């Protein structure tokens, strides 16, 4: 079941690279939050306890509720254009992502023969990291860069479940805190930039000089 959920996670990544609506980006974040929360439960399904459920529940609340609502609030308050303007053609973006994911899945299958890892969750995690980096590189809007960072963090989160049977609670809480700080700071940055520039695209930052 964990492999099925990991594959569904990968499908959300593919949908992410072909969509052009910010609302869909936020919806994908919510879906990934749910998938990650469920994936975290499966290794402990036979011996569930309140302590074990703390991180999955917190992950669901933060990734599927709090952060998406915060992004929606930024989009509404700053009147961000709902359509994303790509710096690369969607089809080319999809081909690049599919090629990268295919290479990652092949490499993880080979690596699983030498290292005790779960190849599909492992490959899905790295695919999310790569997709998050691609979003930051090939999308112009700052709000999409925030989403790209969150997708990257989701990949790191899934990576933790694929290489370890138990996750240190403090490490995961620290990762969530980092996400909160970055999203908060990006919200402030976008707000400040929007007060100076008419658009929230990174292309306008090229006009900044010393």
- Round to whole Å and give the CA distance between 46 and 172: 22
What's residue 210's pLDDT? 45
Q: Mean pLDDT per 10-residue run, the chain (210 residues)?
A: 87 88 88 88 68 77 84 75 70 90 92 79 90 87 82 83 54 58 62 52 50
């Amino acid at each position: 079941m964990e492999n099925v959920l990991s594959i569904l996670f990968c499908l959300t990544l593919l949908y992410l690279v072909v969509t052009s609506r910010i609302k869909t980006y936020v919806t994908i974040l919510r879906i990934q939050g749910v998938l990650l929360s469920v994936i975290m439960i499966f290794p402990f399904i036979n011996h569930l306890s309140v302590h074990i459920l703390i991180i999955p529940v917190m992950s669901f609340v933060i990734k599927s509720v709090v952060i998406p609502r915060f992004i929606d609030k930024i989009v509404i308050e700053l009147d961000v254009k709902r359509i994303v303007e790509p710096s690369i053609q969607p089809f080319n973006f999809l081909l690049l992502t599919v090629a990268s994911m295919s290479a990652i899945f092949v490499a993880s299958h080979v690596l699983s023969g030498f290292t005790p890892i779960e190849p599909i969750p492992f490959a899905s995690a790295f695919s999310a990291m790569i997709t998050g980096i691609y979003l930051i590189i090939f999308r112009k809007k700052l709000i999409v860069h925030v989403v790209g960072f969150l997708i990257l963090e989701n990949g790191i989160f899934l990576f933790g479940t694929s290489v370890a049977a138990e996750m240190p609670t403090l490490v995961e809480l620290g990762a969530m805190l980092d996400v909160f700080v970055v999203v908060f700071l990006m919200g402030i940055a976008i707000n400040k930039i929007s007060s100076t520039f008419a658009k929230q695209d990174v292309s306008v930052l090229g006009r900044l000089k010393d």
